[in-house]
Amino acid sequence: MTLPDGRRKRAVACSFCRKRKIKCDQEAPCGNCRRSGHENCAYENNQPLSQTQLDESQTTIPESIPMSQDSTPLGRTPSVSEWTFPYPSGSPVTPSTGTGVCTNLMTCHNAELMALRAKTGQLEYRNRTLEERIRQLEGQLSEQTPAPIQGLSLDLEMIMGGILDIPRERDSPSQCKGIICCVVDNARFFGQSHWAVNGILLISDIFETIEAHLRESPSSPLSPWSGLERCKFLARIIKARRISSMSSLPTPGLPPKEVADKLVDCYLRTTEAIYRILHVPTFLRDYEALWVSDTTANTAFLAQVKLVLAIGATTYDKNFSLRTSAVQWIHESQVWSLEPKLKSQLNIQSLQTNLILLLARERVGVDGASIWISMGALIRQAICMGLHRDPVPLPQNTVLVVEMHRRLWNTVLELALQSSLTSEGPPLISFWDYNTRPPRNFNDDQLLADDPVPSPVDTFTQTSIARALRKTFPQRHIVVKFLNDLASPGTYKETLWFDEELRVAYRDISQTLKACSSSSTQSSPSQFEMQVVDFLMHRYLSALHVPYFGPALHERACNFSRTAVVESSLKIWRAVHSYSDAASDCGDLQQLAICSSGFYRTVTIHAALQIAMELRAQLQNEEGLSPITLRPDLLAVLDEVKDWCLKIHEAGETNVKGYLLMSLVAAQIDGLRRGLGKDEIAKLLIQTVEKVGEKCLPILEDMAAAQDQGTDQVSCEGMEEELDFLSEFKFDSQGNVDVMSWMYDEINTGSPSVW
């Protein structure tokens, strides 16, 4: 018999006869099975259906088959156990094989069986036709070019200084289109949580305006950038001097004890209060022993102490006067950690030192671009030590060992998630990789007692902040995975769902900490601890909505994301900038954002940039006849951020690109508010570039003059640097400089910060 698609119908035979390629009489059991004594005479895929049921199966598509992944978080495909396969109602057939099928076949005549095969062939033919049509439509859709994002230049190869691939994803027609899911250049992948993907790229039109005006101007195209050229030259000299004389191993030399004590206190009240790494009483005991004259310093502990001092130096004073010493201490500890002694490094002290080293590198800006890469090795070290397994089943462990075990693993999770968010990489660990419980509510001195009892939940202890953040870890983890996973970006529906979950977790953690503050006990969260928790949670809220922020500036479909980003950014900025110029009023978080590198500074500058983008979009999209009224609290950020950037340079930062960036955006907004034309705004932007060079150059000159190097070496290095400087610029066919490739060269080198 021939099927509608031209194929021959396969003859009906039991599995025994088909295997031996002999004719089957289609009985149940068949004659061949009876004669050979074969008991399991089964017919494969021959389950009888009535004619009415066959007609229904050709015209309806069961709703129980999953047709879309939109309903599953993170675009997850349902597992096999979640699938439901429909069978016509009233059918006695079950999806099994064996003797039950033979029994069913006994109720059918051969003619009815042949009709069943014919109908099945027709259904398969129709399915193949439908699949072919779907493939054709998918091919046509893939050939269509997505609509460009308004306000975002697509000529990013010129801006980024490399060959780029910018995948865009369309959502449903009622949602934002043109979402940028990643940016790929010659040597680096940038996920959605990276500032370059959803922040810097939105202002590419500013540099295009400058370049276009310079091409048309008869003056030299390099003249506006000469001041910045000199700034970059001085920055290289300053950074080279800071690492010019590094020791190979940690030396016994420490700063004076009164200075060291203050540095240790700075570390304990800031970093250790959030990320529990050390058992403070034990550390202070060994630290005090270093100052005993007849005590020989242990190299491993000395390296740990110097890293603590390096982190403490970031909040020691407002000018980061110990920056050079901090860099040297970090380099000494790095050399020690690279010594070939793997087995001896698999211990608690070594893991503590590596965690502090990771934080010190980011805070001081020593090789901060590879923090996420180094975090992968640190996770594996913790797993090799068994920290991913809860220690309770081991009866020989003391309470101190158990709680330090849990605290360190909790810190590993927190830093892994934070590095993933900062470095746009997927999270390096999942919930199925560990079963270690959160640390219990103990103060450090309680762990030295026999059989201590944890404090109540509403009692604030030295682990309360770490415990509170751990409660929000699942929600924050799924946000980072949603942003940086291979399947990103997801749908806007999922974004709103994750937003709700994250806000619920944020509300719970706020209530917990408020209860600790209002309790009758003497201990309560410090202002720094409350600000950091607020800072972190708003960072994750902002990161969740930032992919939709750019399109939402020109579309209404994702207006909620626009509002969420602006409000979270404003709260982040206020947490960092809510202080006066008096040194006594400058809090630890504000000091950390000014003097340290990495997470806190990058998040702050990104928040200010998003606020500026909101103001610019309001001016560009103005439709009424009357002047638009801008929010005063948002406008105030534009003036505050420039002064804040100058404070960063006064604290020793050499990269002026952050100050340049915010100055250009503020100048463009000022031009739009004054109603200037395109050429006038271009001139204003060029004047801003010149003023930035004039403002930053004296700061860097004073910084270079304060270093302990001779002027002869400076002059010699200067001649060599100036000869090579023009090689950094890229020129087009007309001989004009591509200033944007210089602006974004740090992206190509992998720096996680605009600085």
The model's pLDDT over 422-470, given as tens digits with 9 standing for 90+, comes to 887 888 888 899 999 999 999 999 999 888 899 988 889 999 999 999 9
**123 within 8 A of 57, measured Cβ to Cβ:** yes
Question: In whole angstroms, what is the distance from residue 246 CA to residue 335 CA?
Answer: 10
Query: 474 vs 105, which has greater pLDDT?
Result: 474
pLDDT band of 609, cuts 50, 70, 90? very high
pLDDT for the residue 25: 83
Taking residues 116-129, report their average pLDDT. Answer: 63
pLDDT band of 755, cuts 50, 70, 90? very low
Question: In whole angstroms, what is the distance from residue 701 CA to residue 235 CA?
Answer: 9
Residue 29 lies in a domain: yes
pLDDT digits (tens, 9 = 90+) for 28-53: 788 888 877 777 788 765 443 334 43
Residue 21 lies in a domain: yes
pLDDT for the residue 222: 55
pLDDT for the residue 500: 95
Place of tokens 């697509």: 154
Kindly report which listed range (519-523, 550-554, 670-674) carries the lowest average pLDDT score. 519-523
pLDDT for the residue 110: 52
Residue 18 lies in a domain: yes
Residue 600, CB half-sphere, CA atoms under 13 Å: how many? 28
- Which burial class, exposed, middle or buried, applies to 186 when counting CB atoms under 10 A from its CB (0-12, 13-18, 19+)? exposed
513 has pLDDT over 70: yes
pLDDT for the residue 191: 53
380 has pLDDT over 90: yes
32 lies in which domain range?
13-39
pTM for the full predicted model:
0.72
Q: Which tokens go with 474?
A: 């699942």
572 has pLDDT over 80: yes
Query: 75 vs 222, which has greater pLDDT?
Result: 222
- Among the ranges 76-90, 244-258, 261-275, which has the highest mean pLDDT value? 261-275
376 has pLDDT over 80: yes
345 has pLDDT over 80: no
75 has pLDDT over 70: no
Torsion of CA 352, 355, 356, 359, to 10 degrees: -170
In residues, how long is the chain? 755
Beta-bridge partner residues of 703: none
Q: Which tokens go with 475?
A: 């929600």
pLDDT digits (tens, 9 = 90+) for 700-754: 988 888 875 543 333 334 433 333 333 333 434 343 444 444 444 443 333 334 4
Taking residues 292-303, report their average pLDDT. Answer: 81
pLDDT digits (tens, 9 = 90+) for 385-434: 999 999 887 667 889 999 999 999 999 999 999 999 988 788 888 889 99
Domain count within the chain: 1
pLDDT band of 118, cuts 50, 70, 90? low
Residue 30 lies in a domain: yes
Question: In whole angstroms, what is the distance from residue 303 CA to residue 249 CA?
Answer: 9
Place of tokens 């591509």: 738
Torsion of CA 747, 749, 752, 755, to 10 degrees: -80
Helices (H), 519-631: 527-552, 559-577, 588-595, 599-620
Kindly report which listed range (244-248, 625-629, 637-641, 751-755) carries the lowest average pLDDT score. 751-755
What percent of the chain clears pLDDT 70, i.e. is strictly above it? Answer: 66
502 has pLDDT over 50: yes
Q: Which tokens go with 7?
A: 């194929």
pLDDT band of 486, cuts 50, 70, 90? confident
Cis peptide before 29 (omega within 30 of 0): yes
pLDDT digits (tens, 9 = 90+) for 655-682: 888 899 899 999 999 999 988 888 899 8
Helix axis angle for 632-650 and 657-673, nearest 10°, is: 150
pLDDT digits (tens, 9 = 90+) for 168-210: 444 444 455 545 555 555 455 555 555 555 556 677 778 788 8
Cβ-proximal residues to 623 (8 Å cutoff; 6+ apart), any chain:
none
